[in-house]
């Protein structure tokens, strides 16, 4: 009798769990919005918080332009510049509240759209972090800025790492902010086919775009805000335009950089004071535990005791969009420490 009752209980529990999962999936199945118009792959419709400037470059024999925001300090300048590098799914437009917090402290803030992103050109070239770092340095040189504090989020954290090792005399301070690329994945899986990845990119749906961003709030789906939804619509709008095949190939090539141009071996060569920073619940490496362990390793690997770790409990991959009040003060405080040097 006990065995029968126990089996019945397990069966009912299974049905309840199955129904709960089914209901959750049904809630997550969002219909494709009907009001999204084709978007420009040069991001003309994107909501940039400040005007963009442009620097002409020649890359692999092609004439291109790199876009950037150059935001003046508010009030008395403190004499220092912060350059911020964006992640793979965005361009510089999602840093509005960080820019505001820094300029209020007297910083000049430079935010590039890397080549292949945002309002910058979309050439078909062999992308690399070395080129991205060199292009970013070219912006500073064009503005006659000799030194800058570097902040890099997500893929931008990988780029910030490479920038700091390529240009140690330029890099005053370094913030590696919820980076991807915390492990070298080349030895756990073979490289994928660019042609297959490109084919998959061409067929992306609104649901696929949205799901790629929802990974950022996997620790707390309630953290999905209208701002995230707006960015999902922007990304999907690019797929509706005539130039989408070019952008799809550019994105495919850049995605391969994250795999092939690993920066984990750059960490021991960073000379600047460095903050390993971000939301503690980031699950992009596979779990929050993996992320936390690897961020600790990152901080510990910076030589000469120059590495610090600051992870914010309860927040995920894009903390400044989840909770600016918890995210901005420690970020700004670390950079302000450099004013005393």
Residue 222 DSSP one-character state: G
171-177 and 148-153: which strand pairing?
Answer: parallel
Tokens 């980076």: give the residue. Answer: 179
Give all domains of the chain, ordered by start, each with its CATH number. 52-189+264-340 (3.40.50.1820)
**pLDDT the model gives residue 29:** 73
3-state secondary structure of 50: coil
**pLDDT the model gives residue 36:** 95
**pLDDT the model gives residue 183:** 95
Consecutive H or E run containing 96: helix 96-103
Residue 6 burial (10 A CB sphere; 0-12, 13-18, 19+): exposed
User: pTM of this prediction?
Assistant: 0.91
For residue 59, count other CB atoms closer than 10 A to its CB.
17
**pLDDT the model gives residue 75:** 86
Give the residue among 185, 136, 186 at the shortest CA–CA distance from 161.
136
**pLDDT the model gives residue 341:** 59
**pLDDT the model gives residue 188:** 87
Taking only the tens of pLDDT, the chain with its 341 residues reads 333 333 433 433 333 334 333 333 433 578 999 999 999 999 998 999 999 999 999 999 999 999 999 999 998 999 999 999 999 999 999 999 999 999 999 999 999 999 999 999 999 999 999 999 999 999 999 999 999 999 999 999 999 999 999 999 999 999 999 999 999 989 888 999 999 999 999 999 999 999 999 999 999 999 999 999 999 999 999 999 999 999 999 999 999 999 999 999 999 999 999 999 999 999 999 999 999 999 999 999 999 999 999 999 999 999 999 999 999 999 999 999 999 75
Q: In the chain, at which residue ranges do the beta strands (DSSP E only) sit?
A: 52-59, 62-71, 81-85, 108-113, 148-153, 171-177, 274-279, 307-312
Residues with Cβ < 8 Å from 199, sequence gap 6 or more?
none
Instruction: Give the tokens for residue 235.
Output: 């990304």
Residues 76 and 108 sit within 8 Å (Cβ to Cβ) = no
Would you state the torsion angle of the CA atoms of residues 80, 85, 86, 87, taken in this order, to the nearest 10 degrees? -140
Using CA atoms, how far apart are residues 60 and 63, in angstroms rounded to an integer?
9
């Amino acid at each position: 009798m006990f065995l029968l009752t126990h089996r019945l209980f397990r069966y009912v529990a299974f049905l309840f769990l199955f129904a709960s999962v089914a209901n959750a999936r049904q809630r997550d199945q969002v219909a494709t919005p009907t009001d999204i118009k084709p978007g420009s792959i040069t991001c003309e419709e994107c909501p940039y918080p400040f005007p963009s400037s442009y620097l002409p470059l020649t890359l692999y024999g092609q004439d291109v332009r790199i876009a950037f925001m150059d935001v003046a300090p508010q009030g008395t300048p403190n004499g220092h510049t912060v350059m911020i590098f964006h992640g793979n799914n965005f361009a510089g437009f999602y840093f509005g509240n960080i820019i505001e917090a820094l300029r209020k402290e007297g910083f000049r803030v430079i935010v590039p759209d890397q080549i292949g992103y945002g309002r910058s050109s979309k050439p078909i070239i062999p992308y690399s972090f070395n080129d991205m770092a060199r292009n970013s340095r070219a912006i500073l040189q064009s503005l006659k800025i000799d030194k800058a504090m570097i902040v890099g989020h997500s893929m931008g954290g990988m780029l910030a790492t490479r920038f700091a090792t390529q240009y140690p005399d330029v890099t005053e301070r370094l913030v590696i902010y919820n980076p991807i690329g915390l492990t070298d994945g080349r030895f756990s899986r073979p490289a994928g086919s660019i042609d297959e990845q490109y084919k998959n990119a061409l067929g992306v749906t609104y649901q696929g775009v949205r799901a790629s961003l929802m990974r950022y709030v996997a620790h707390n789906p309630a953290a999905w805000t209208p701002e995230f939804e707006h960015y999902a619509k922007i990304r999907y709008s690019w797929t509706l335009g005539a130039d989408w095949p070019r952008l799809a190939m550019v994105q495919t090539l850049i995605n391969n950089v994250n795999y092939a141009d690993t920066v984990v071996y750059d960490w021991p060569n960073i000379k600047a004071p460095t903050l390993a920073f971000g939301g503690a619940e980031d699950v992009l490496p596979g779990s929050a535990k993996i992320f936390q362990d690897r961020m600790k390793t990152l901080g510990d690997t910076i030589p000469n005791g120059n590495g610090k770790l600051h992870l914010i409990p309860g927040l995920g991959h894009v903390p400044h969009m989840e909770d600016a009040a918890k995210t901005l003060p420690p970020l700004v405080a670390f950079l302000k420490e450099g004013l005393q040097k």
